[in-house]
Structure 1
Amino acid sequence: MILTDTHTHLYYEKDPDKLKLLIDRCVENGVTRLFLPNVNSESVEEVKALTHLYPEYCYPMLGLHPCDVKENYLDELDRIKRAMEEMKIWAVGEIGIDLYWDKTTLAVQQEAFRTQIGWAKERDLPIVIHCRDAFDEVYEILLEQRDEKLKGIFHCFTGTKEQADRITDLGFYLGIGGVLTYKNSGLDKVVAQLDMKHLVLETDSPYLTPVPFRGKPNESSYLVYIAAKLAEIKNVDLETVAEITTRNSKSIFGI
């Protein structure tokens, strides 16, 4: 059984011994494909270091997180673009729009989002979208940018069935994480109505820890609990969930 964590910040763990234990637990649980998004220029080296340390499991992605789109965002974009030219990446991300923390930066977030979508198209890469309190704003840009090269994952999807359909109609996959296991999230009812051909799994570790570890730091090995919840919802076995969602991840990332 091979499970794919399509979104993990595993590189936040700086202690090499603890990091090895995190990787060991991933392997024990069958989580052997780990896709790593950076968030800003400083985290580029962290993603690169972890990829070099565990190349058999880790796949880097690069982008400027919308919460890091600030006054110096053009400089940040320039640094990240240069890094893209120096290393192999599998997606541009995580990128998008976040209006939860700061609505005043919407215009520059939109500009950074468009710019990075352009990078992805130039390189024939998928994008990994961060969207918080900004569905309409993100969707508007996706419609604007829609063509045969626009593809990717809507990371940490927690929306409605109608929103899910709008995203998948654009050819995007939905990243399903720990929120699926939360009792009152309602995501389970939405996912029950979705075809698994549109779904990939993720942890967003160290955030959004699934039950039964909610309240503690998340880790990629916990992906198995998200997969088990999806198996329960779909009334299939864990191996089927692993096979379908990993196949979907291979389709979008090309590896």
Structure 2
Amino acid sequence: MITDTHTHLYSEQFDEDRKAMIQRAKDAGVTRFFIPAIDSSYTTQMFSLEKENPNDVFLMMGLHPTSVNENYLEELAHVKDWINQRNFYAIGEIGIDLYWDKSFLTQQQEAFRTQIKWAKEKKLPIVIHCREAFDEIFEVLETEKSDDLRGIFHCFTGTLEQAKKAISYNMKLGIGGVATFKNGKINQFLNEIDIKHIVLETDAPYLAPTPFRGKRNESAYITKVIDKLVDIYGLTFQEIAKITTQNSKQVFGI
């Protein structure tokens, strides 16, 4: 059993072959797909995906930091409304992104903090998006840390020191295609991180692993990430799949 803890299966990039793409993943052994939210414009697609794959797809709800702009309060209200209406498996993806736009940093911080509080109220994990914002993310986590706060640092691309700090906040590290890149850097120190802190992800359709780098990613390609972790940890493919799926169960509770 392999778990993809972060995959945007509702993306329009899969509109032409979504069913076949999901079947390829299942054929590769991927049996659990955790689906992060972006903003209200994708909610309908997410629910349709869940309806079509009720036994395999597990939805999150949240406001992505790159969707935090002038109407972010309306978007937060959308998130709040839905988490009060039905079950989700995490609040995510949420966080801070200073790569594309720094003008809404204050609003991103507020949205991040607000959604963390909702996660704790609902006893849900959080899934963190962080791009060029480790200091800002850690600043918020420091004020919100508690025994009931847990989650995943999605697409972790930081340093060893930052990895240890993320883990100290009860976060697993989401490891995907970047670990297979020659310049990915995290492969240089992952062996110093106990595998009990690692979960697998693709972030499909983004960040395809080698040898598919630069092409559309899909959940089946998670096997290439496992192959890399086999080299790093000296464990078998089956052991990596089993351990990381168990780690994901600790986060999501299922």
TM-score range, shorter chain: over 0.9
Q: Which residue of 2 aligns with 1:100?
A: 99
**1:74: how far off?**
0.3
Distance between the aligned counterparts of 1:222 and 1:14, measured in 2? 16
Q: Deviations over 1:169-224 (max 9, x none)?
A: 12110000100000122111121211000000000000000011111100011111
**1:86: how far off?**
2.5
Q: Does the 8 A contact of 2:13 with 2:205 survive in 1?
A: no
| Identity across the alignment (%) | 51
1:74-85 mapped onto 2 (5 Å cutoff)? 74-85=73-84
**Is 1:229 paired with 2:228?**
yes
Distance between the aligned counterparts of 1:164 and 1:91, measured in 2? 21
- Which amino acid is the alignment partner of residue 223 of structure 1? I
Q: Which runs of 5+ in 2 are unaligned?
A: none
- Which amino acid is the alignment partner of residue 194 of structure 1? I
Q: Does the 8 A contact of 1:200 with 1:248 survive in 2?
A: yes
Distance between the aligned counterparts of 2:215 and 2:31, measured in 1? 22
Q: Does the 8 A contact of 1:44 with 1:83 survive in 2?
A: no
Q: Which residue of 1 aligns with 2:128?
A: 129
- Which amino acid is the alignment partner of residue 96 of structure 2? I
Q: Which residue of 2 aligns with 1:88?
A: 87
Which aligned segments of 4 or more residues in structure 1 are displaced greater than 2 angstroms? 13-17
1:106-185 mapped onto 2 (5 Å cutoff)? 106-185=105-184
Pick closer, same or farther for the CA change 1:134–1:45 going to 2, 3 Å: same
Q: Which runs of 5+ in 1 are unaligned?
A: none
Distance between the aligned counterparts of 1:242 and 1:117, measured in 2? 29
Q: Secondary structure at the match of 1:110?
A: helix
Q: Secondary structure at the match of 2:31?
A: strand
**Is 1:244 paired with 2:239?**
no
Distance between the aligned counterparts of 2:203 and 2:91, measured in 1? 16
| Count of residues paired in the alignment | 254
Distance between the aligned counterparts of 1:226 and 1:116, measured in 2? 30
**1:85: how far off?**
2.3
Distance between the aligned counterparts of 2:94 and 2:16, measured in 1? 31
**Is 1:59 paired with 2:71?**
no
Q: Does the 8 A contact of 1:209 with 1:217 survive in 2?
A: yes
Distance between the aligned counterparts of 2:186 and 2:13, measured in 1? 33
Q: Which residue of 2 aligns with 1:189?
A: 188
Q: TM-score w.r.t. structure 1 length?
A: 0.97
- Which amino acid is the alignment partner of residue 69 of structure 2? K
Q: Secondary structure at the match of 2:51?
A: helix
Q: Does the 8 A contact of 1:37 with 1:63 survive in 2?
A: yes
**1:80: how far off?**
1.8
RMSD over aligned CA atoms reads 1.1
